[in-house]
Amino acid sequence: MNILVINAGSSSLKYQLLNPETQEVLAKGLCERIGIDGKFTYKPANKEAIKDADVAMPTHSEAIQTVLHALVDEHNGVIASMKEIDAVGHRVVHGGEAFSGSVLITEDVMNALEECIPLAPLHNPANITGIKACVEVMGKEVPQVAVFDTAFHQTMPAVAYTYALPYEFYQQDKVRRYGFHGTSHKYVSQRAAAMLGKPIEELKLISCHLGNGSSITAIQGGKSMDTTMGFTPLAGVPMGTRSGDLDAGIIEYLMNKHGYDIKEMLNILNKKSGVLGISGVSSDFRDLEDAAEKGNQQAQLALDAFDYSVKKFIGAYAAAMGGVDAIIFTAGVGENGVTTRANIVSGLEYMGVKMDAEKNNTRGKEVDVSADDATVRILVIPTNEELMIAMDTATIVGK
Ligand code: AMP
């Protein structure tokens, strides 16, 4: 079975053709500058790659057509015809409260997706455009499945998702914690259960997805119980450029003091804050580590503030679940940030978390990096959202 996984942005489209059973990636790549001039990248397994080719892509439909042509191309294609694509799995950012799992896309589902647009005005329209383009180019006979970033977190109890605001804002305006990175947290939690050789139903896990965007999730019995991102992906720990949690009173204070309008203020919170904001150096953890090593104290403070915040949530979620069996590190920083991982767990020995420094000297591989006598495992698990989307899509289509 071959699944085409699509992650459509407003002017870009990431794709991957893979077999969820063998986990083999047949080809992957990226369409960029859609609606501008069009750049196409295609990497087939074991064949010649195309990089940054100029291809006119006035809309997402031409982008999908370009992808399909490359996949069936007689020289460096990977399938004989489009018939070898069994289904398409689309990453959709926001499913609101309407979707607690992946779904086969029907007209009703499309209408429900449109209703979720106010919750993710930057992302959902692009995801919907990607779906429409696939249906247009591939025809209605190829099943399309939506896999949501928010769906995994729909199991959170009301105590975790309710904000302490007048209750009608939840009832009428759907203001609540939704959480994001769900596909990643779900994937790594399943891998963690496999690594530990235990049924996921018996496990209490804390998944730390630490990348340019970061979120921590408490996962009990395979279900999300709490997560750091909220109504939007701005909440939680400090991120590359996003502030994470902050006192809402700061917003009015800074707007009054500097004459910012709300758009400027949100731009600061989304694009100029986080570790970039504190350090004044970069949003990239490698740059921050280099700068800190050279004695830049703001860069060091940014790294320390990030580690401290992640550590606090680990403590909070262990308290919320009444214990923890394993802490998972994933995404760019979680998979590669040897020092960051070590700093985050240092001081947690009292709760049975003990790292093996030698084992922790690893990057981008599935490894248990905890000391032999630790009672809480520390697992490094590379995330694979595309594979999770393909597996979900295969399950739905198989029904
Ligand atoms: P992601 O958003 O998951 O792609 O993660 C991007 C982040 O991972 C960036 O801040 C990178 O600096 C960070 N990252 C990637 N490789 C390393 C590394 N070897 N050490 C520390 N951070 C890394």
Task: Please work out whether the CB of residue 286 comes within 6 Å of at least one atom of ligand 1.
Answer: yes
Per-residue confidence (pLDDT) for residue 46, from 0 to 100: 85
Q: Coil, strand or helix: which one is 7?
A: strand
Tokens of 223: 């279900």
Ligand 1 atom nearest to 288, measured from its CA: 12
> Which residue owns the Cα nearest ligand 1 atom 10?
284
* pTM for this entry: 0.96
> Which residue owns the Cα nearest ligand 1 atom 20?
337
Ligand 1 atom nearest to 210, measured from its CA: 3
pLDDT mean over 111-132 = 92
Residue 11 has pLDDT above 70, yes or no: yes
Ligand 1 atom nearest to 286, measured from its CA: 12
Task: Please work out whether the CB of residue 116 comes within 6 Å of at least one atom of ligand 1.
Answer: no
| Domain residue extents for the chain | 3-148, 197-380
Q: What is the pLDDT of residues 316-344, one digit of tens each?
A: 999 999 999 999 999 999 999 999 999 99
Task: Please work out whether the CB of residue 337 comes within 6 Å of at least one atom of ligand 1.
Answer: yes
Radius of gyration of the chain (CA): 22
Per-residue confidence (pLDDT) for residue 47, from 0 to 100: 87
Q: What is the pLDDT of residues 71-110, one digit of tens each?
A: 999 989 999 999 999 999 999 999 999 999 999 999 999 9
Give the strand pairing for 223-227 and 214-220: antiparallel
Q: How confident is the model at residue 367 (pLDDT cuts 50, 70, 90)?
A: very high
How far apart are the CA of 336 and the centre of ligand 1, in A?
6
Q: Which of 54, 86, 149, 304 is catalytic?
A: 149
Just give the CATH number of 197-380: 3.30.420.40
Of all residues in the chain, the percent with pLDDT exceeding 70 is 100
Contacts of 12 (CB under 8 A, 6+ apart): 30, 31, 32, 33, 34
pLDDT mean over 54-72 = 95
> Which residue owns the Cα nearest ligand 1 atom 8?
332
Torsion of CA 102, 107, 108, 113, to 10 degrees: 60
Calculate ∠ Cα 287-182-231, nearest 5°: 85
- The domain at 3-148 falls in which architecture? 2-Layer Sandwich (3.30)
How far apart are the CA of 330 and the centre of ligand 1, in A?
10
Domain 197-380 in the same topology as domain 3-148: yes
Mutate to test the pocket of ligand 1, among 149, 286, 329, 338 (most ligand atoms within 8 A of CB): 286
Is 149 an annotated catalytic residue? yes
Calculate ∠ Cα 306-310-314, nearest 5°: 165
Q: How confident is the model at residue 399 (pLDDT cuts 50, 70, 90)?
A: low
Task: Please work out whether the CB of residue 211 comes within 6 Å of at least one atom of ligand 1.
Answer: yes
Ligand 1 atom nearest to 383, measured from its CA: 3
The amino acid at 324: V
Mutate to test the pocket of ligand 1, among 208, 283, 285 (most ligand atoms within 8 A of CB): 285
Mean pLDDT of the chain: 96
Q: What is the pLDDT of residues 194-209, one digit of tens each?
A: 999 999 999 999 999 9
Per-residue confidence (pLDDT) for residue 121, from 0 to 100: 87
Task: Please work out whether the CB of residue 332 comes within 6 Å of at least one atom of ligand 1.
Answer: yes
Note whether 146 and 103 are within 8 A (CB): yes
Q: Exposed, middle or buried, 142 (CB in 10 Å: 0-12/13-18/19+)? A: middle
Residue 285 has pLDDT above 80, yes or no: yes
Ligand 1 atom nearest to 331, measured from its CA: 3
Mutate to test the pocket of ligand 1, among 333, 335, 341 (most ligand atoms within 8 A of CB): 333
Q: What is the pLDDT of residues 160-175, one digit of tens each?
A: 999 999 999 999 999 9
